[in-house]
Amino acid sequence: MNLAPTELDPSRQVQSPTLGRDPGRGRLAGRRVLVVGAGQRSIPEENPPIGNGRAISVLFAREGAAVACVDVSREALDGTCGQIDREGGQSIAEVADVRDAAAIGPLVARCAERLGGLDGLVLNVGISRGLPLHKITAETWDDEFAVNLRSHMLFSQAALPLMAPGGSIVLISSIAGLRNSSRNPAYETSKAGQISLARAVAVAGEEKGIRCNAVLPGLMDTPMGRDATRRRPGRAAAVPFGRQGTGWEVAQCCLFLVSHEASYVNAHALVVDGGLSSGVVRPA
């Protein structure tokens, strides 16, 4: 399906939540949420866009949650927690490398203790080397899977026994898990694995009423997205609405899934791509 030229004005599809300008409404009041990958990478731009992890953390705090922010970079964490603090929210910070499998269980337990419990978990951490199949080595493959998939399993495994009944887990996957169009096999395969893992975690959480869902962003205007665009300058040519998505739009979907408003949404893969993976594209 092609969008008509009259529908290509990006401003027609941009609202206040798109830009992270809405005040909180208490949708997560009293909830305690751990966000892994809460910082964002530095890119060579003066005014970089917000990343998914920072947007999720800030939005959840605005909505009344106490947020434990985990990232490999202290500087990135300081940026996220600093924004939450300036807005009057509640956050704690933990520096960790999710490649360290043995550290994940103690980290989750420590965050739950510092928060006074655990109601939600969002796993946003991920890397992409952008290597085509013929350039992948066993080491690069294993490293992407350690970050993108193994860590998600270990965090979920550690969190489930500690989470309060009725809690929620969200895995940030990608539409790359649905299609292999970016010539990035390790990333695509690990993201497909996250979709399946979310369903497995949903099954494991059933006894306690803990839900698990995956969110699949499309082409997003985030620091990671701009890095990808530098590698493939034409990647956004067909993006619906004449624009890429924002980190805030991913965060809004995570907010719904973590909130009690989504109490009957489970084992679902929520695509957030403006319709791109369904064939909605801009005219040539």
- Residue 3 CB: number of other CB atoms within 10 A? 17
**Contact criterion met (CB below 8 Å) for 60 and 33:** yes
Give the number of residues written for the chain: 284
Buried b / exposed e over 87-125, threshold 16 CB at 10 Å, is: eebebbbbebebbeeeebbebbeebbeebeebbbbbbbb
187 catalytic per annotation: yes
Contact yes or no for 110/68 (Cβ under 8 A): no
Residue pair 56/253 in contact (Cβ under 8 Å)? The answer is: no
Query: Rounded to whole angstroms, how far apart are CA atoms 159 and 136?
Result: 32
Alpha-carbon distance of 14 to 246, in angstroms, equals 10
Catalytic residue among 53, 63, 76, 187: 187
Measure the CA–CA gap between 139 and 123, rounded to whole angstroms.
Answer: 23
- Show the tokens assigned to 136: 């992948």
Give the active site residues.
Answer: 187
